Amino acid sequence: MIFFESHVSFVITYLIINFPGFAKPNQFETIPLTNFTESASAIAHPNIAFIKYWGNRDHALRIPSSGSISMNLGGLITRTQVSFETGLENDLLVLNGGLTSGNALARVSALLERVRAMSGIQLFARVQSENNFPSGTGIASSASAFAALSLAAASAAGVQLEERELSRLARTASGSACRSVPAGFVEWQAGKDHSSSYAVSIAPPSHWSLVDLVAIVSREHKFTGSYEGHLLAGTSPFQASRLKDAPKRLDICRRSILDRDFEALAEVVELDSNMMHAVIMTSSPRLQYWLPATMSVMLEVSRWHKTGIPVCYTIDAGPNVHVLCESEHAGEISKQLTSLPGVLEILNSHPGGAARLESNPPDD
């Protein structure tokens, strides 16, 4: 009997050493794997581009054809929690309270794949993301969403990333998201490859009390997303001259921010917005984001500017108009905007801080 038991234990030891998989059923019994969770929560702001990103030199990695400059939109927030959990059979995305699949989940999973590759973690994640601003109001929520997701996912996976590395990671999911990583006024250095293409802060939020009054003229979702727009940019005969002139506009914009020179900023911001929309309207096939109310707001803002009011407009890939001014003029301009026909709502935002973990205090 004793011989039999020692013989059995020898056979089991042999099997465990030579065939590690043999021991697995026993491990599942003893380790409470279903309770394993690594989680983190992060916050990021959307941003409005003063000099815009439109067109890539590398679509897969989102390396842009030119640099861009933006301001983070303080007060508007995406909050994202990521939990890597055992027992999940795929990544889960809960967006503004609703379980979401399709393209949105695929983009989230692609970013999580990168984080899994960096960390060695092999678990799927539950992602819960909420905006404090209404969706479909022309605020680019993908920028704040992917900046917050990058930070929360890296942190939950135990990967420490410097700001630049985080900006690069966010860029791979949505180009403009790389600009929601650093604080305040931000420049995305186009670069030539993955390592040289990231965003840096050029001035903190406290540098200049600019205000972005977003005149909402439509809450409809745009029918052509920016991804398709970037693919088409090169088909416009105007894109080449837009890109050639970009370094000059970037210099003027950067300088006007550093000098707090509103007039210089206003001129280059409107020029750049009009140039991007000229490319959009002349690509093949043609795109068109403006509505009649978009034009009415643009024309009114230009009229006010001519009468000496320091104000200007810029428009992203949608119909809503971002109206920029210094804080001292914001109350009056907001009142005037509200009274314009077709304007449904005004969102009011000031320069915002960097993406941050919920456990860290805000810097704006």
Site residues (CB under 6 A) for ligand PMV, limited to 289-318: 316-317
Stretch that binds ligand PMV, among 170-178, 199-207, 208-216, 323-331 (CB under 6 A): 170-178
Looking at 44, 112, 140, 253, which residue binds ligand PMV (CB under 6 A)? Answer: 140
| Contacting residue, 41, 78, 150, 174, with ligand PMV by CB under 6 A | 174
Angle between helices 141-156 and 163-171 (to 10 degrees): 120
Nearest CB to ligand PMV, comparing residues 52 and 242? 52
| Beta partners for residue 95, in sequence order | 98, 129
Report the SS3 class of residue 5. helix
Q: Is 322 exposed, middle or buried (0-12, 13-18, 19+ CB in 10 A)?
A: buried
Check residue 208 for interaction with ligand PMV (CB under 6 A). no
CA 268 to chain centre: 23
Instruction: List, as one string, the DSSP characters of 49-88.
Output: EEE----EEETTTTEESS-EEEEEEET--EEEEEEEETT-
Is residue 68 a contact point for ligand PMV (CB under 6 A)? yes
* Least Cβ distance, residue 152 to ligand PMV (angstroms): 19
Nearer of residues 41 and 68 to ligand PMV, judged by Cβ: 68
Minimum CB distance to ligand PMV smaller for 68 or for 80: 68
Q: Tell me which residues in 37-66 interact with ligand PMV (CB under 6 A).
A: 49, 52-53
- Tokens read off for 22: 């043999």
176 interacts with ligand PMV by CB under 6 A = yes
Complex with ligand PMV: residue 121 or 246, whichever CB lies closer: 246
Binding site residues, ligand PMV, CB under 6 A:
49, 52-53, 68, 140, 142, 174-176, 226-227, 316-317
